[in-house]
């Protein structure tokens, strides 16, 4: 770990008042959560899983969707995982009085659990599900209790809705959330921190290119492996996030 680079990052972090963060699976793996897209991950084991995790499959087979969804994400749904040093690092930046916008590709809710206030979950959250009809939202304990969670809302006429809930995770075929907020954040920010993502998934992969249009933004990449976008960054660290922030 280059001490000169670490010192440069520390100085920039001290100076920054507004920080924009893009986090990916590498942030969550340090909490023990598997990277579903990595080589050997669950997505690569069975491409049929991808079809089952699509909006079209949910709409046509809602009762079959939930058992498949729960099987695939059972570890993430257990609620046993805790924020790691990387999550705590970002939450502590806020405690120092900085404005930190976190745009995460992760669905585990660990940024919020760590105490960060401005978290935008681009791919949604596994912590909730919403009724497609009446938009009532249900929390994780109810989703875990019911094999196929349905809406329990009772209308003024005494009729129970009963519609199968749709997970708030962004499925294949759904629109990514909060992406309009990214540009607003980049207009105001001093620094872009990309943490734990190889930038292989659109539209998050375009954020560094957007940031490059703003010369005043200092851009930092923290990822275990090289990415094809490394050249866009002012500082690049290829190491575990927890080790790096511990040094900081």
Q: Is 151 annotated as a binding residue?
A: yes
Q: Is 161 annotated as a binding residue?
A: yes
pLDDT at residue 226 in the model: 95
Q: What is the pLDDT of residues 116-163, one digit of tens each?
A: 999 999 999 988 999 999 999 999 889 989 999 999 999 888 899 999
DSSP β-ladder status, 124-130 and 166-169: antiparallel
d(CA 237, CA 2): 9
Domain 1-33+83-123+175-248 classification at class level: alpha beta
Task: For domain 35-80+127-169, say whether CATH 3.30.1600.10 is its number.
Answer: yes
pLDDT at residue 47 in the model: 57
pLDDT at residue 201 in the model: 83
Sequence-distant (6+) residues with CB within 8 A of 210 are 182, 183, 186
Nearest to 22 by CA among 196, 161, 194, 219: 194
d(CA 75, CA 62): 21
pLDDT at residue 99 in the model: 98
What's the mean pLDDT in 228-248?
Answer: 94
Q: What is the pLDDT of residues 193-235, one digit of tens each?
A: 999 999 988 888 899 999 999 999 999 999 999 999 999 999 9
Residues 61, 63, 123, 214: which is the catalytic one?
123
Place of tokens 């929390």: 139
Reply yes or no on whether 123 is catalytic.
yes
Q: Is the dihedral of CA 152, 153, 159, 163 positive or negative?
A: negative
Nearest to 210 by CA among 224, 237, 229, 238: 229
- How does residue 15 score in pLDDT terms, banded at 50, 70 and 90? very high
DSSP of 39-80: TTSHHHH-THHHHHTBHHHHHH-HHHHHHHHHHHTHHHHT--
What's the mean pLDDT in 10-14?
Answer: 96
Q: Is 131 annotated as a binding residue?
A: yes
Domain with CATH 3.30.1600.10 in the chain: 35-80+127-169
Q: What is the pLDDT of residues 35-82, one digit of tens each?
A: 655 444 444 445 567 788 999 999 999 999 999 898 887 645 556 789
How is residue 151 annotated by DSSP? -
pLDDT at residue 75 in the model: 47
Q: Is 67 annotated as a binding residue?
A: no
Domain with CATH 3.40.50.1220 in the chain: 1-33+83-123+175-248
């Amino acid at each position: 770990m280059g001490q000169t680079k670490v010192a440069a990052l520390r100085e920039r972090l001290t100076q920054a008042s507004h920080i924009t963060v893009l986090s990916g699976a590498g942030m969550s793996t340090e909490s023990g959560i598997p990277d579903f897209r990595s080589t050997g991950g669950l997505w690569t084991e069975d491409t049929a899983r991808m079809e089952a995790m699509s909006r079209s499959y949910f709409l046509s087979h809602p009762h079959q969707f939930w058992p498949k969804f729960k099987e695939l994400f059972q570890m993430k749904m257990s609620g046993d995982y805790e924020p790691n040093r990387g999550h705590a690092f970002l939450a502590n930046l806020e405690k120092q009085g900085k404005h930190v916008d976190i745009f995460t590709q992760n669905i585990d809710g660990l940024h919020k659990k760590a105490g960060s206030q401005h978290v935008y979950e681009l791919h949604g959250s596994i912590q909730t599900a919403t009724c497609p009809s009446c938009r009532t939202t249900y929390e994780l304990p109810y989703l875990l209790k019911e094999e196929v969670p349905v809406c329990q809302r009772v209308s003024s006429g005494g009729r129970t809705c009963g519609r199968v809930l749709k997970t708030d995770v962004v499925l294949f075929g759904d629109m990514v959330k909060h992406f309009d907020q990214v540009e607003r954040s980049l207009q105001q920010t001093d620094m872009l921190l990309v943490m734990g993502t190889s930038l292989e998934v659109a539209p998050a992969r375009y954020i560094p290119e957007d940031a490059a249009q703003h010369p005043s933004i200092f851009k930092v990449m923290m990822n275990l492996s090289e990415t094809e976008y490394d050249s866009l960054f002012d500082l690049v660290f290829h190491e575990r996030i927890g080790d790096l922030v511990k040094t900081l």
